[in-house]
Amino acid sequence: MTPRLIITAAEWHLGLDAEEGAPEGPLHEVECTTCHEKSGATEGRRLPVETWALRHTGHHPGHRSFRATSTTFWRTTPAPGNPLHRPPLGTP
């Protein structure tokens, strides 16, 4: 496969992914480091996974250590002056 376009220097924007279908907030998940059971991921809110960790310890008093993971989604977009930049629809 040959490249169609080579850009040696171009500006890009990097930010949170706001495209349609992207998560509206970070995904949060907790894993017990004793038994490796996971809370399941929740979008935007930490409280459900925090509650899961507390309940898990309540059911298994020796399980007191957890790995908390928060995932955010980023997107790069071509900045003005970048040959790949396309103004938003409706912009003159």
Residue 43 located in a structural domain: yes
- For the stretch 8-34, pLDDT in tens is 678 989 999 988 988 888 999 999 999
Residue 63 located in a structural domain: yes
Whole domain around residue 68: which residue ranges? 24-76
pTM of the predicted model as reported, rounded to 2 decimal places = 0.71
Residue 35 located in a structural domain: yes
Question: Vertex 14, ends 11 and 17: CA angle to 5°?
Answer: 140
Residue 54 located in a structural domain: yes
Residue 85 located in a structural domain: no
Residue 13 located in a structural domain: no
User: Is the pLDDT reported for residue 88 higher than 80?
Assistant: no
Cα–Cα distance for residue pair 72/14, rounded to 1 Å: 13
Residue 44 located in a structural domain: yes
Query: Looking at the chain, which runs of residues are DSSP E strands?
Result: 12-16, 27-32, 42-43, 66-71, 74-78
- For the stretch 51-67, pLDDT in tens is 999 999 999 999 999 99
Number of domains in the chain: 1
Count other Cβ atoms within 10 Å, centred on residue 66. Answer: 21
